[in-house]
Structure 1
Amino acid sequence: MSASLEFARLRVRPRGLLLCLLMLIGQPAIAEVYTYIDAEGNRVYTDQPRRNAKKVDIAPSNQMNSAPRKSSQASSAKPRPGPLFRYQLLRILAPEPDSTVRDVQGNLIVTVTNDPQLQQGHRYRLLLDGSAHGEFGRSPVFSLTNIDRGTHQLSIEIVDEFGRVAERTPNQPFHMMRISLSQKRQAQPCKTEEYGVRLECPIKDKPPEEESSILPFL
């Protein structure tokens, strides 16, 4: 047999042809198959192309890929929200409604109260003029700084762990007056012990103490 892979020469019989094709399909190294009629009239199958040889079309293998394995651990389902919890009371304690706040730097402390107490997973959110101000938190005390002069609206929300608003106060107005230090000092004069304590009473402006006119005894 030649170096090329040639298969047994067969006379054209259906049974022999079928057997030969099965042998060819079973060869893992064969990429293409050719056939021709030799000088003795026999049909020959080979993997080497030759003159007057025809390429044999072979159907692709019907080998099935193994099905992917399913994960043994089921994906954890997210908890579904239950009924929305309602509070009987949510109110801003300070500043009082329609109050005037006088602060040089525009600072303000806001405090709230609610009943019943804040539930697990619930947080407060402060809204200033309709926009969220600062981060969510569980503290009922908020510190605001550098608020512009003029009238503003305050509101407090309680938000649950699913982002739903459980309760919200109505908008509550307040007025910010950012007076100068001199105006504040005129409205409330500085006392001796307040120099270096109050912002509008710097220590450099403290008047000198009067010397005692009583001479000490010799």
Structure 2
Amino acid sequence: MSAGLKYVYQLAVALCLLFSVSQAVLAEVYTYVDADGNRVFTDQPHRNAKKVDIAPTNRVDQPTKAPSRASTPKPAARPIFHYQLLRILAPEPDSTIRDIEGNLNVTVSNDPELQPDHLYRLLLDSKPYGEPTRSPVFPLTNIDRGTHQLSVEIIDQYGRVLERTPNQPFHLIRISLAQKRLAQPCKNDDYGVRPECPIKDKPEEESSFFSFFR
């Protein structure tokens, strides 16, 4: 091997040794010519050796990713509370209600008593009626005549249905004013008192003067 090629080979070996060491502790490289005229590279100081200046590498450390913040866990929902009893007291199942204006009250009962943060929700024909409430009495107004289905639910603060009654039918009969007048004709004292007997329909009273000559 020629001296020039041997020099290049030894320099390459020295550079490999240099790059293999840790960047934190970088070894120094020395070179000298031995007794046989060969160029030698070493990391140990030697008599008549010269230090080889090596340019720093272009290595760029990758930025360390900041640890991602752990998302705050949502508070777990409370276990579902179970009621032993929930039923509709009024109206009774399959009952018939007669009301001119279509009004009635629905009353419910449950055991144990309604817990804090729990609400009643009334369903009329499978649709929520009004807003959930803590009152066990639901006033219904202006309900159409015919057969309807009632059901009551108890919900918690998360909107979960805890208990629900089966659908319970009732029949509403709304008698018209004309039908009521026909069933019970209006008398003089009824006008302005009974809804089906408005004061404007009260007949004029006959004068006592004309009744004297009859």
Q: If the TM-score is normalised by the length of the shorter chain, which range does it land in? A: 0.5 to 0.7
In the comparison of the two structures, how many residue pairs are matched? 161
1:61-97 Cα distance to aligned partner (Å, 9 max, x none):
21414615747xx736323322522233x33232222
Conserved? CA contact 2:83–2:112, under 8 Å:
no
2:129 match: 133
1:7-65 Cα distance to aligned partner (Å, 9 max, x none):
xxxxx99654x42x55xx5xxxxxxxxxxxxxxxxxxxxxxxxxxxxxxxxx5x21414
- Matched ranges for 1:28-43 at <5 A: none
| 3-state SS, counterpart of residue 184 of structure 1 | helix
| 3-state SS, counterpart of residue 186 of structure 1 | helix
Q: Does 1:145 pair with 2:154?
A: no
- Matched ranges for 1:47-86 at <5 A: 61-65=60-64, 67-68=66-67, 70=69, 75=72, 77-86=74-83
Moved more, 188-197 or 165-174: 188-197
Letter of the 1:79 counterpart:
A
Question: Hey, which bits of structure 1, 4+ residues long, moved more than 6 A?
Answer: 209-213
Distance (Å, rounded) in 1 between the aligned partners of 2:144 and 2:174: 8
2:151 match: 155
Distance (Å, rounded) in 2 between the aligned partners of 1:156 and 1:179: 28
Letter of the 1:170 counterpart:
P
Percent of residue pairs identical: 59
After TM superposition, the score normalised by the length of structure 1 is: 0.56
1:42 match: none
1:99 to 58, 71, 95: 95
Distance (Å, rounded) in 2 between the aligned partners of 1:200 and 1:150: 22
Structure of greater Rg: 2
Letter of the 2:201 counterpart:
D
CA RMSD of aligned residues (A): 3.5
Distance (Å, rounded) in 1 between the aligned partners of 2:190 and 2:159: 47
Letter of the 2:182 counterpart:
Q
Letter of the 1:62 counterpart:
D
Conserved? CA contact 2:151–2:164, under 8 Å:
yes
